[in-house]
Amino acid sequence: MSGIRLEGVRKRYGDSIVAVDDFDLTIENGEFVTVVGPSGSGKSTVLRMIAGLETITDGTISIGDRRINDVQPQDRDIAMVFQNYALYPHMSVEDNMSYGLKLNSGRSDEEIEERVREAAEMMGIEDQLDKKPSELSGGQQQRVATGRAIVRDPAAFLMDEPLSNLDAKLRAHMRTELQRIQEELETTTVYVTHDQEEAMTMSDRVVILNHGEVQQVGTPREVFTEPRNTFVAEFIGSPSMNFFDVRLRDSTLVGHDIAYSLSREFADRIADRSANEDLILGIRPEHMTFAGTDDRNDIDAVLEVREPVGDDNYLYLRSRETEFTMRVLGQVDYEEGDELQVSFDESDVHVFDRATGENVLVTRNAVSAARAETTRQDA
Ligand code: ADP
């Protein structure tokens, strides 16, 4: 077992397309890391470079202590699981699972058989070993593809959207199953998905990509509670975070729809850390509550659409200039068209620089870095 390290990795196609730029990441031994981002953000390219299916334009990739830039894919000691399971249709499940090992592991038939049996048990397909892939459901085929990766006992699993062909219920089930197996085997895993919920539920850490650039790396909790920029804030969490254009006036965030007065301490932190006047107040739909009192921090809004989602309600609201969403658990007494007031706690407020999109409370921008430097020199 080994960790994986990518240093300054870049992939350019032709002269103009930079699919992945300056990618730095150290994946610890046994860690489950998910690379998530919209379509075309470079996720598959990252995985394919680790697998050796794509050459890299710049940088270094290592598995354990070994630099693998020039190592052939079959010699990298990794196993891939894809969205299309890529099973051999004419082979039985057992043969599909053992084929790779028989081809180039030099292990005895007995040992291979034992490993296949163990992996099949782990995946719950031990009674399917004689069947052909066409006789199996999508979920069972996915289990075979995963079992085939397990049999090889690789240094790392690389998984590219492995659950996206399954229906929603099975996908949720397979998520927990893959997680359980990964924890049991403690095999370093890099998992690619466009589905933020999948990333947030399965991973030790999440890497968020956009346009080939890393936006943030962190635990699911970190990227949710401290998104580094508006892209991460919007991409992670469902429904997405709401944004209101504001400026800081004394200790109040003032916009067309909002005048949210802050504690002195919070206002000072924002003033201290933001280089620009134009800010964005971010608040998650689940952090909004009905206010109803005439508090000056309330937002007046009209309920445009009410959408029940299980026990939850998604309320689509409009204030003068901004559309926003509120997520409320349980009974909602308002009807579409009703006017209402909503509010939220200061502790749930995120503040971004409108020009750069950066979270002024979690990133150290040039201004605050320079100030810190000056203070240090003065001291
Ligand atoms: P994702 O997996 O996030 O959808 P990809 O890694 O597949 O994104 O692609 C990243 C970018 O690289 C996209 O702009 C895509 O069009 C481009 N790209 C991927 N493969 C090739 C290729 N073989 N030739 C040219 N451009 C490519």
DSSP codes joined into one string, 293-317 = S--TT-EEEEEEEEEEETTEEEEEE
CA of 114 to the centre of ligand 1 (A): 40
CA of 368 to the centre of ligand 1 (A): 37
Asked if residues 63 and 78 have their Cβ atoms less than 8 Å apart, the reply is yes
Atom 21 of ligand 1, residue of closest alpha carbon: 13
Q: Is 151 helix (H, G, I), strand (E, B) or coil?
A: helix
Q: Is 316 within the bounds of a domain?
A: yes
Ligand 1 pocket test, pick from 9, 21, 36, 44 with the greatest ligand atom count within 8 Å of Cβ, gives 44
Half-sphere exposure of 162 (CA within 13 A, CB side): 32
Residues 251 and 122 in one domain: no
Q: Is 324 within the bounds of a domain?
A: yes
Q: With 60 as the cut, is the pLDDT of residue 365 above it?
A: no
Q: Does ligand 1 lie within 6 Å of residue 44's CB atom?
A: yes
Q: Is 376 within the bounds of a domain?
A: no
Ligand 1 pocket test, pick from 10, 15, 17, 208 with the greatest ligand atom count within 8 Å of Cβ, gives 17
CA of 80 to the centre of ligand 1 (A): 18
Domain boundary among 203, 225, 247: 225
Mean pLDDT of 139-168: 90
CA of 57 to the centre of ligand 1 (A): 14
Q: With 50 as the cut, is the pLDDT of residue 14 above it?
A: yes
More confident residue, 252 or 84: 252
pTM: 0.90
More confident residue, 248 or 104: 248
CA-CA distance, 308 to 319, in Å (whole number)? 21
pLDDT band at 374 (very low <50, low <70, confident <90, very high): low
Residues 185 and 303 in one domain: no
Structure tokens belonging to residue 101: 């090992």
Q: Does ligand 1 lie within 6 Å of residue 20's CB atom?
A: no
Residues 69 and 101 in one domain: yes
Ligand 1 pocket test, pick from 44, 45, 209 with the greatest ligand atom count within 8 Å of Cβ, gives 45
Residue 275: the pLDDT is 82
Radius of gyration (Cα) for the chain, nearest Å? 25
Residues 152 and 292 in one domain: no
CA-CA distance, 144 to 119, in Å (whole number)? 9
Residues 41 and 138 in one domain: yes
CA of 87 to the centre of ligand 1 (A): 24
pLDDT in tens, 287-327: 999 986 656 788 999 999 999 988 899 999 999 989 999 99
User: How is the chain split among helix, strand and coil, in percent rounded to 5?
Assistant: 30, 30, 35
Atom 25 of ligand 1, residue of closest alpha carbon: 13
173-212 as b/e: b if 16+ CB within 10 A: ebbebbbebbeebebbbbbbbbbbebbbebbbbbbbbbeb
Residue 367: the pLDDT is 47
CA-CA distance, 168 to 310, in Å (whole number)? 15
Domain boundary among 172, 199, 225: 225
Q: Does ligand 1 lie within 6 Å of residue 42's CB atom?
A: yes
Q: How far from the centroid of its chain's Cα atoms is residue 340's Cα?
A: 34
Strand-pair category, 188-193 with 156-160: parallel
Work out the number of other CB atoms within 10 angstroms of the CB of residue 247: 13
Q: Does ligand 1 lie within 6 Å of residue 63's CB atom?
A: no
Give residue 327's domain range.
233-368
Q: CATH number for the domain including 327?
A: 2.40.50.140
Q: Is 27 within the bounds of a domain?
A: yes
pLDDT in tens, 43-87: 999 999 999 999 999 999 999 999 999 999 989 999 998 877 789
Asked if residues 10 and 59 have their Cβ atoms less than 8 Å apart, the reply is yes
Residues 238 and 304 in one domain: yes
Atom 15 of ligand 1, residue of closest alpha carbon: 40
What mean pLDDT, rounded, does the chain reach? Answer: 91
Ligand 1 pocket test, pick from 11, 12, 13, 191 with the greatest ligand atom count within 8 Å of Cβ, gives 13
Locate the ligand 1 atom nearest the alpha carbon of residue 194 and give its number: 3
Q: Is 310 within the bounds of a domain?
A: yes
Domain boundary among 225, 255, 284: 225
For helices 93-104 and 138-151, the axis angle rounded to 10 degrees is 20
Mean pLDDT of 251-274: 93
For the chain, what is the domain count? 2
CA of 209 to the centre of ligand 1 (A): 13
Residues 141 and 252 in one domain: no
Highest mean pLDDT among 29-38, 158-167, 331-340: 29-38
Residues 32 and 68 in one domain: yes
Q: Is 378 within the bounds of a domain?
A: no
Q: Is 334 within the bounds of a domain?
A: yes
Residues 156 and 250 in one domain: no
Structure tokens belonging to residue 205: 């850490």
Residues 75 and 180 in one domain: yes
CA of 370 to the centre of ligand 1 (A): 38
Q: Does ligand 1 lie within 6 Å of residue 193's CB atom?
A: no
pLDDT band at 253 (very low <50, low <70, confident <90, very high): very high
Q: With 50 as the cut, is the pLDDT of residue 197 above it?
A: yes
Backbone angles phi, psi at 58, to 5 degrees: -145, 160
Q: CATH number for the domain including 102?
A: 3.40.50.300
- Written as one string, the DSSP assignment of 45-63 is HHHHHHHTSS--SEEEEEE
Q: Is 159 within the bounds of a domain?
A: yes
Locate the ligand 1 atom nearest the alpha carbon of residue 47 and give its number: 6
Asked if residues 354 and 280 have their Cβ atoms less than 8 Å apart, the reply is yes
Q: Does ligand 1 lie within 6 Å of residue 16's CB atom?
A: no
